[in-house]
């Protein structure tokens, strides 16, 4: 247990790790726990949802619609991009209006009842 005394060689350490700014005593377990950590079940559900979304995007969207959603939502690198940034990514080959239109079409395709049920996107 993280609240029990710790033994290391011949030295025994108490289970207390000090105190925080408020003066409350911290237990060793409190310092080891990651309060920001996502539970394994949440990680698994996120992974399944991600895979379902990838499958739906691969089969329902044309490549440039997939690219636009990936960049707009930051699916590849976690950095969402703005429409003007996408115009630059496409080298000016698409206007802001065309990018917004493609994004709307892509969302519409992914929201269709057939897509939602086929890829179980509402299950997560």
Residue pLDDT, tens place only, 74-112: 999 999 999 999 999 999 999 999 999 999 999 999 999
Residue 2 pLDDT more than 60?
Answer: no
What DSSP string runs through 22-45?
Answer: TSPEEEHHHHH--TTPPPHHHHHH
Confidence of residue 11 (pLDDT cuts 50, 70, 90): very low
What is the C-alpha separation between 14 and 11, in angstroms, rounded? 10
The pLDDT value recorded for residue 119 is: 86
State which H helix or E strand residue 63 sits in: helix 63-73
Residue pLDDT, tens place only, 14-67: 444 555 555 666 565 555 556 677 788 888 988 898 899 999 999 999 999 999
The pLDDT value recorded for residue 117 is: 87
Q: Which residue has the tokens 């000090």?
A: 18
By CB neighbour count within 10 A (0-12 exposed, 13-18 middle, 19+ buried), where does 77 fall?
A: exposed
* CA-wise closest residue to 120 among 61, 50, 66: 50
Tokens of residue 51, six digits: 């895979």
């Amino acid at each position: 247990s993280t609240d029990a005394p710790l033994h290391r060689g011949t030295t025994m350490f108490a289970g207390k790790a000090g105190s925080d700014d408020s003066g409350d005593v911290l237990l060793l377990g409190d310092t080891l726990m990651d309060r920001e950590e996502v539970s394994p079940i949440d990680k698994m559900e996120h992974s399944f949802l991600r895979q379902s979304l990838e499958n739906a995007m691969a089969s329902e969207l044309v490549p440039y619609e997939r690219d636009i959603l990936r960049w707009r939502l930051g699916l590849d690198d976690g950095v969402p991009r703005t429409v003007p940034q996408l115009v630059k990514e496409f080298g000016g080959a698409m206007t802001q209006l065309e990018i917004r239109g493609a994004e709307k079409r892509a969302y519409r395709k992914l929201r269709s009842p057939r897509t939602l049920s086929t890829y179980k996107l509402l299950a997560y």
